Structure 1
Amino acid sequence: MPERQAFRERIRLEAAERFAAGAADAEVAKDLRVSVRSVRRRRRAWHDAGTEGLRSAGPTSRPKLSEALFTVLEQELAKAPVPHEHDAVGDRADAARARFQSPGPGPPGDRARRGGRGGLGD
C-alpha cells in the first residue's frame, strides 16, 4: 500500500475510534485536520459497515503512467539540469525591453530646475 494511502487509512481508523467514543463530527474534523463533510461521510461508512467500511479499497483508477514510463521519468529527473540557452526571439525581446526602459533619475538638482518637489502633483 503506498505511503499516502496508508496515512489516510490511519486517519480513518483513528476517526472510527472517536466515533465509537461518541465524539462530534466537528470535533473529529478539527482534531484530525479534515473537513466536516469528510467526517460525516466516514461516519456513515463506519455506521453501515464498521471499521472494515473505513479500510482502503485501493486506487480508484489505473495509474496515469505505466511502469515503463514512470521509470523513464525517474531517470530523466535524476539527470543534471541543462543550462538555459537564449534563443533569437529571447535576445530580441531583451533588446526591445532595454530600448524602452526608463532613463532613471536625472542629475542632482534636476527637480529644482523644473521647479517641482518631485511629487505626483507637480
Structure 2
Amino acid sequence: MTNTEHEIIYRVLGSDEWAEALASGQYAGAPHDIADGFIHFSTIDTLAATLALHYTKRDGLKLLHVPVAPIKAKLKWEPARGGTLFPHLYDVLAVAHVTRVDDLPLDANGVHILPEDLQQTQ
C-alpha cells in the first residue's frame, strides 16, 4: 500500500495526553514530536511495530483514528525505519479531526490488543 492509498492514519498517546487535548481542542504532540517539529503518525501497516518499539507494556494508551483528507496539506510522508514512509503532521492536530478513539489494553504478555477491525488488516 502506498502513502496515497491511506485514508486513515493512527496516533498512539497516553490517556492523560488525550484528556489534555480534549480540554484544549488540539494536540501539539509529545515532547519528542515537539523536538522533531512534527507529530508522528503510523499507518495500519506500521502500527503494531510502532507499539512494540515505542510503547512496550505501557498501559493506559489511546489510539486516535485520523482521516488524511482534512490534514493532507500539512502532512508529509517521510522515510524512517529502513525507508518505510511514515506520515508526519507539521501542525497541531485539531481534536475535531479525530474520528475515533480506542483504548489499547494489554494482554497477559504485555502486548497491546488492537481493536478487532484493525487486527484483521495486520
Bigger relative CO (Cα 8 Å, ≥ 6 apart): 2
Higher-strand-fraction structure: 2
Question: If you compute each CA radius of gyration, which structure gives the higher value, 1 or 2?
Answer: 1
Please, what TM-score do these two structures have when normalized by structure 2? 0.23
Normalised by the length of structure 1, the TM-score is 0.23
More helix by share: 1
